[in-house]
Chain A
Amino acid sequence: MSVVSTVNPAAADYTVLDEDVPRPGKLLACAGLAWLASAAVVLAWPDAQEVARTGLLGTLAAGLGGLLLLSWALGWISSRLARVGHWAPWLAVLAVTLAVWETLTAKLDLLPLPFFASPQAFLEVYTDDYPRLLDCLYHSVLLLGKGYLLGSAVGFVSGVALGWSTRIGYWVHPVLRLIGPLPATAWIPLAFFVFPSSASASVFLIALATWFPTTVLTWSGVASVQTAYYDVARTLGASERFLVLKVAIPAALPHVFVGLFMGLGSSFAVLVVAEMLGVKSGLGWYLQWSQGWAAYANMYADLFIMALMCSTMITLLFRLRDHMLAWQKGMVQW
């Protein structure tokens, strides 16, 4: 069987080493077989619990197993597919986890209901309640987006102003020191009373949670710029505006992104709390609602979507950082 190589040895008369050519690992085939075995457990073993969607779950597991085996086989031809092998250990562990979870719940009914839902119940939430979940996801993203963008924009501007101007620093610094460390959730009673709608109050709270870390880190970034950078730019004829926009801000960007990252983490916390209290649709609201009905499978399904949403947002932020800080060495890869 021939291996397609992405390395061209003729270019510099170098020998291509084995590690230069990605090959599909045996573990990928093992992962595929593990998923097929899990599918067999799901489909062949009769359910002890009263559950729906067993057929769908088994089919999905078998489908994934088949896909992994196909990737392994095609990996001998395509080096790109061979790289799927990186995730093989994880995929194998997940297949085993599914089989154990299925056995303990649906098959043997060893774990108490409704706290420990079966994989089928988990799947059923997505197949039956997806319109409501999608609506909640949309509202959460909208609310988080508005609050986070507002908070980070204000935080960035106030951070730059604090770091650059001693006059602005004189007025803003005491406010920042007093109000900033207060958790945004402490403002909940006041915010829902002062703002005309619960949605605007939630936006304010998320913005407040984002504002503090963004401001402090941007400020610290601008304040820590080497004075030699300013000296060089000044001797070359730079104006004050140029010094702020083309020296202080780019130099402070690594700090700014740490602030934006911390602000995003705080905004997630406030989003969930604010949604539990003040809105009629959102992932936080869904969590509260499903707990009220003791629908634990719905809660887990909601938590999973929430985790995906938060992780996606952090990934997007890191992508933006990687793009804007391409000049920096040794960055943490998300």
Chain B
Amino acid sequence: MVSAAPALAAGGAAGAALEVQGVSHGFVLQNEILPVLHDITLRVDPGAFVALLGASGCGKSTLLRLCAGLDRPRRGQLRMDGVEITRPHPSRVIMFQDPTLFPWRTVWDNAALGLEARGELRHGRGRVDAVLSLVGLDNFRRAYPHQLSGGMAQRAALARALVNDPRLLLLDEPLGKLDSLTRLAMQGELTRLWQQRGFTVLMVTHDVEEALLIAGARGNGPGVAQES
């Protein structure tokens, strides 16, 4: 696994620090544990944009799920700002390769999902509107996901994440299925949002160019590259 890191963001105070300490993980397959991650140690500074690079199947997405709190590691610890990650939390939002928008909800309702789930929608309507404007989906609030293009759907998924003011944004190849032009535009939008808001980003990708472009060139240049 290769990671390109770090790039300090402007206004990085909003970002969280992430520590991965000796984490190992595996899946049970035919009564045997198939090892996926072995003794991973990683530290991400608050407000950094870190790209995790690696070939398909090397465990990048698994590590991201562990960081999100969706799965518990078999060994080791993950901490956000020194607090152990044991379950999902809205301050750590994950975005997948597929936008995974709920097809029965409009773009607005999808973006409002987190606020609704936590019972904060009554006071947060303005936030939903603002974030949809931010990602350029103002005119598509009432559209259903099947009416959106791939790039628009991914922007809607980004809006759904940003409404919750995440301190750690976990991106699991979010641009992997987009055409190259949309991909370039989205890369620009992502880094712009990161610079504006200062959250920490951990992005999984198998595209070296993308990793260097986003995680390196926008900050202080490519930092440490690790392989494990």
Contact = CB atoms under 8 A, between A and B. Distances in A.
Grouping DSSP codes into helix (H, G, I), strand (E, B) and loop, the A interface class, with mixed when no group exceeds half, is helix
Contacts of B118: 236-237
A289 B90 CA distance: 67
B126 interface: no
Contacts of A247: 102
B93 A236 contact: yes
Interface residues of B, number: 27
A328 B145 CA distance: 10
A265 to B, nearest CB: 26
Grouping DSSP codes into helix (H, G, I), strand (E, B) and loop, the B interface class, with mixed when no group exceeds half, is loop
B186 interface: no
Interface string B75-90: 0000000000000111
A250 B89 CA distance: 23
Interface in B106-123: 113-114, 116-118
B88 A234 contact: yes
A294 to B, nearest CB: 54
B98 to A, nearest CB: 7
A228 B113 contact: no
A228 B65 CA distance: 11
B99 to A, nearest CB: 10
Contacts of B135: none
B117 A233 contact: yes
Contact of A327 (B65, B69, B93, B146): B146
A295 to B, nearest CB: 51
B60 interface: no
Nearest to A235: B88
Contacts of A251: 102, 104
Interface string A311-329: 0000000000000011111
A327 B94 contact: no
B145 to A, nearest CB: 8
Interface in B41-82: 65, 68-70
Nearest to B97: A228
Nearest to B170: A235
Nearest to A239: B117
B92 interface: yes
B3 interface: no
Given A237-B117, A246-B117, A251-B104, A228 B164 contact: no
A234 B98 CA distance: 17
Nearest to A250: B104
B182 interface: no
Nearest to A226: B100
Contacts of B102: 229, 247, 250-251
Contacts of A246: 116-117
B68 A232 contact: no
B140 interface: no
B156 to A, nearest CB: 12
Contacts of A236: 90, 93, 113-114, 117-118, 160, 164
B136 interface: no
A129 interface: no
A232 B104 contact: no
B96 A235 contact: no
A329 B146 contact: yes
A325 B104 CA distance: 7
Contacts of B92: 235
A242 interface: yes
A232 B103 contact: no
A306 B143 CA distance: 41
A235 B113 contact: no
Contacts of B100: 226, 228-229, 231-232
Interface in B142-157: 144-146
A252 to B, nearest CB: 10
Given A236-B113, A242-B116, A253-B104, 8 more contacts: A233-B117, A235-B68, A235-B88, A236-B160, A242-B117, A250-B102, A328-B103, A328-B146
12 contacts: A229-B102, A231-B65, A231-B68, A231-B70, A234-B70, A235-B70, A236-B164, A237-B88, A237-B90, A237-B118, A251-B102, A327-B145
Interface of B: 65, 68-70, 88-90, 92-94, 96, 98, 100, 102-105, 113-114, 116-118, 144-146, 160, 164
The 6 closest A-B pairs by CB, nearest first: A236-B114, A238-B117, A237-B90, A235-B88, A237-B118, A234-B88
